[in-house]
Structure 1
């Protein structure tokens, strides 16, 4: 592994360790990962997609999901309407309608392509409602987080050269001034 990829893996390990220390991961929940591998490498989003970066990111979050018994899913780029690659059983249990597309580097992005070829039984859905999410490179995962998305901050704010935005969801507060929560 070259030095740049080793540094990237270390940054992901630090990020995931900080999320674990803050008890961000919750068993049984859905974790959405959005990532521009181009941004991670310091390039404009969608211009220098990297399967090597995708592999490192996939493996890091897939292992974390296994440890914490999460359902991990991966958001594609705007060329496939930010569709989500996930395991078939998760999609069916959530009643997400399946769509016909196979993500690839130039339509879906490297991470979605890598996930599609390395999940056990991959499918793609047009829309999901995840409990938590990690957005690496400003890929706009918010459209796939349950309402209400709440920012979650840790010290590790970048992976490679990409900004990292993290969110979890909470139930809506309704009822006005007389309501109790």
Structure 2
């Protein structure tokens, strides 16, 4: 698959998620990604930095256009720590950890691309479930990073490259029971 197509697909998917989730400037968007899966291989078997860079370009273009922060999830070898901008770490009082993602050893290609290309990247232990929406490219499990209540978000695209994608957004918790009336814009 051509890198330009991967970049285009990732841009389109993230744009659609941002619109469907009604994300606003300053929200946090989490990305979990397996470049191996994008290439049609089993997760962790064919890490590819060129694919990661193409995904990063498409995703960050969509997010930057809206003023939304990226949180790039590392692989399980770094305990799913996240690459964020220092401003996100400070804004949410997150715990910085000392590791630099690597494509083939610990972190994964997408997290490495985010660390390499971010304005002031840091690695944080967790988002403390503060992400407002996200995309899981290749079934890497991002739900732990999204505000409760995380709900599935269906978009027109089902894959990026060969990787299955799962999208999610947050919604405020319902309160009040049977007699409550809810704001449909928040559902």
User: Normalised by the size of structure 1, how large is the TM-score?
Assistant: 0.91
After the TM superposition, which of the residue ranges 16-25 and 89-98 deviates more from structure 2? 16-25
3-state DSSP class of the match of 1:173?
coil
Match of 1:63 in 2: 61
Aligned residue among 84, 92, 95 for 1:94: 92
3-state DSSP class of the match of 2:147?
coil
CA offset digits 1:59-110 (Å, max 9, x no partner): 1111111100101110011010111100011111101011111111121100
3-state DSSP class of the match of 1:98?
coil
- For residues 111 and 12 of structure 2, what CA distance do their matches in structure 1 show? 23
CA contact (8 A) 2:11 2:61 kept: no
Match of 1:41 in 2: 39
3-state DSSP class of the match of 2:32?
strand
Match of 1:121 in 2: 120
CA contact (8 A) 2:23 2:132 kept: no
What do you get for the CA RMSD once the two structures are aligned? 1.7
CA contact (8 A) 2:27 2:132 kept: yes
CA contact (8 A) 2:74 2:107 kept: yes
Match of 2:185 in 1: none
3-state DSSP class of the match of 1:166?
strand
| Change beyond 3 A, Cα 1:146–1:161 | same
CA contact (8 A) 2:132 2:170 kept: yes
3-state DSSP class of the match of 1:99?
coil
Match of 1:168 in 2: 169
| Change beyond 3 A, Cα 1:60–1:24 | farther
Does 1:107 pair with 2:106?
yes
- The gaps in structure 2 that reach 5 residues or longer are 183-187
CA contact (8 A) 2:81 2:124 kept: yes
- The gaps in structure 1 that reach 5 residues or longer are none
3-state DSSP class of the match of 2:65?
helix
- For residues 96 and 20 of structure 1, what CA distance do their matches in structure 2 show? 24
User: Normalised by the size of structure 2, how large is the TM-score?
Assistant: 0.89
3-state DSSP class of the match of 2:173?
coil
1:15 CA drift (Å): 2.1
After the TM superposition, which of the residue ranges 166-175 and 139-148 deviates more from structure 2? 166-175
